[in-house]
């Protein structure tokens, strides 16, 4: 698993406006999806960040957004960005 101190935090279970567990029933398929994303080995996608700029997003966060979009027929990064704001 990639070193977490190099990336923006990936914490899908952090308390936000709405917690996943509070908003969706336990049998909802998104819980399985989150578990699959967490267990996916993404080390081969990680490269050393450059010396400038902000911390990059965690690979699991990016993979989760892209995979969820693909599962729902959204393949455009611009559409994904609009849907996630």
Residue 18 pLDDT exceeds 80: no
pLDDT value for 53: 85
For 39, half-sphere exposure in the C-beta direction (CA atoms, 13 angstrom radius) is 6
The domain locations on the chain are 4-83
pLDDT tens digits, one per residue of 22-69 = 888 989 888 999 999 999 999 988 888 888 888 888 899 899 999 999
Taking the mean position of all CA atoms in its chain, how far away is CA 68? Answer: 9
Other Cβ atoms closer than 10 A to 46: 15
Confidence band for 84, pLDDT divided at 50, 70 and 90: confident
Rounded to an integer, the average pLDDT of 7-33 is: 78
- Whether residue 66 contacts residue 45, with contact meaning beta carbons closer than 8 Å, is answered with no
What is the 3-class SS of the chain, one letter each residue?
Answer: CCCHHHCCCCCCCCCCCCCHHHHCCCCCHHHHHHHHHHHCCCHHHCCCCCCCCCCCCCHHHHHHHHHHHHHCCCCCHHHHHHHCC
Answer whether 0.85 is exceeded by the pTM. Answer: no
Q: Is the pLDDT of residue 77 over 70?
A: yes
């Amino acid at each position: 698993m990639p070193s977490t101190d190099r990336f923006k935090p990936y914490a899908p279970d952090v308390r936000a406006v709405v917690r996943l567990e509070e908003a969706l029933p336990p049998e909802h398929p998104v819980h399985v999806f989150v578990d699959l994303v967490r267990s996916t080995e993404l080390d081969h996608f990680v490269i050393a960040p450059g010396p400038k700029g902000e911390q990059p997003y965690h690979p699991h966060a990016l993979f989760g957004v892209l995979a969820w979009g693909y599962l729902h027929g959204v393949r455009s990064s611009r559409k994904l960005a609009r849907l996630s704001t």
